[in-house]
Amino acid sequence: MSQPKYVLAIRANKTPLKKIKYDWSKLSSDTELQERYSVEVKNRFSALCEGSDNEDQSVRYGYLSQVNSETAEKLLPRVQRKRQKALCYDVNVEIGRHNLKEAFDKHVTENSNDSYLK
């Protein structure tokens, strides 16, 4: 008997995909975007619900959430990721470095005369 040469291992993705975040605050400040968004949602939702008057509310809510996510993807900008500055450029770190250098220089000048010669 011979052993198979290949083994297929199917695994699920362990880390879930990151949810895309949209900048919803743009809707409150931009009236043109508000108008486009509301028209798009109304048109898509009415097209999905056409001819289905006897569906229950959970199905209609599913349509609404689907329309909302698709419209947000189409019209809204994504939230910009805020990058933190490196800690080495922090003002407090720079002040600490400067104070340390001054203290070291002072120590060297005070003790350079006699301590190394003995």
- The residue that leads in pLDDT, 111 or 73, is 73
Q: What is the pLDDT of residue 51?
A: 59
Residue pLDDT, tens place only, 97-110: 999 999 999 988 88
pLDDT digits (tens, 9 = 90+) for 3-60: 768 877 788 777 777 788 888 888 888 899 989 988 988 888 777 666 566 667 777 7
**pLDDT band per the 50, 70, 90 thresholds, residue 95:** very high
The domain segmentation of the chain, as residue ranges, is 25-75
CA distances, 30 to each of 24, 27, 34, 35, 79 (Å): 11, 6, 6, 9, 16
